Structure 1
Amino acid sequence: MFRRLRKNGPIVLVPLAWSFVTAAHLGYVSPRTLLAAHVVMNVVFVVFTAASWSEMRSGVLYAWKLVLLVGFGFTAAGTVALAVAPTATDLVAIMLAAWMLVPAAAFVYTARNVAEAPGVYRAAAALSVLGWAVYFGSPLVSLGGPATIAGLTLVNVGQTAGIANAVVQY
């Protein structure tokens, strides 16, 4: 049961996480709820990575192990920032950038090293980078405005497509 959850969990957790981030940008999530969500995400990363450690020794899975380790570090830093200074958005912005770009790099690596549907992984990487560009270009427009939400949506769609393809293919 746990193995199946570990294999299929990312197909639910990735879009859920990005949808939650979007809801937070729209003002639907309180700072306290956002902090609690970060604590939960940290626990999920530790449990998932520990349970998958031996399977992620080489190849494409090793690249994704690095995503989890780097992502955990950024998420933990974001958690501390939210706990200590909830209005300090710089560290949270760095964390979001990491979660947009680090998986994009792993999607590129995955596309180069799999035979099945590498185009889906290239598209996932491209949408993640495009989402990053739109999101971080959007403060010129307005934080929480349409461009910000569009950037988050691009990342969500791209990363969800890549993870869904991985779950279906493997």
Structure 2
Amino acid sequence: MLRRLRATAPAALVPLAWVFAAAAHTELLTAHTVLVGHIVITTLLIAFAGLSWGEMRTDPVLRVWLAVIVAGIPVTLAGAYGVATGEPLGTQFAVFGWMLLPTLALLPTARRGGGADGLDRRYMLAAGLAGLGALLFLLPGSSLVLAAITLVGGGQTLSILVAVWDVELTD
């Protein structure tokens, strides 16, 4: 049951994290709530990495995602620091880090299988949406941040839904 939870929970947690980021950006959440969210996410990342370490380090693609999770711990802590101190660079680093890390990991994931060219187009579409969102985030102008979060959240949600769907069909 724990293995199934680890395999399927990200399908809910990934979109929830981006909805949380959008709500934080639009100031629907208090700074305290955002700080607690960062602490909870960091705890979940540490727990997930610890519980999944053995399984994920043996598969080349899962090893890439394990690296995303492990690298995401200090990225998330930078966000917590930014919220706690009011330093926007910490929160911007965290948001961009979570935009970039999974997007980069989608490329080897897409190469794992798929069409005649060896690419899984579903993951390529997800990487394209998330990559476009990450680029929008880097452009000056706060009006683009919500669009960037939406694109990245949509791409990453698509990718995790595909992954869970594929795992559920093969198990």
TM normalised by structure 1 equals: 0.91
Alignment of 1:35-74 (within 5 A): 35-57=35-57, 58-74=59-75
The total of aligned residue pairs comes to 163
* Matched residue, 2:97: 98
Q: Distance in 2 between matches of 1:96 and 1:81?
A: 11
Q: Distance in 2 between matches of 1:104 and 1:40?
A: 23
Asked if 1:89 is matched to 2:84, the reply is no
One-letter amino acid matched to 1:128: A
| Range that drifts further, 60-69 or 109-118 | 109-118
Structure 2 unpaired stretches of 5+: none
Contact 2:96 2:137 in 1 (8 A): no
Contact 2:11 2:161 in 1 (8 A): yes
Query: For 1:29, what is the secondary structure of its paired residue?
Result: coil
Asked if 1:164 is matched to 2:161, the reply is yes
- Measured after TM superposition, the shift of residue 119 of structure 1 is 0.8
Give deviations 1:98-136, integer Å, cap 9, x for gaps. 111111110011111234871111111111110012222
| Range that drifts further, 33-42 or 1-10 | 1-10
- Measured after TM superposition, the shift of residue 55 of structure 1 is 0.7
Q: 2:132 aligns with which of 126, 130, 134?
A: 130
RMSD over aligned CA atoms reads: 1.4
Give deviations 1:131-151, integer Å, cap 9, x for gaps. 0122221x42xx2x3x22111
| Aligned structure 1 segments of 4 or more residues deviating by more than 4 angstroms | none
Q: Distance in 2 between matches of 1:105 and 1:39?
A: 24
Q: Distance in 2 between matches of 1:154 and 1:81?
A: 23
One-letter amino acid matched to 2:133: G
Name the % identity: 37
* Matched residue, 2:108: 109
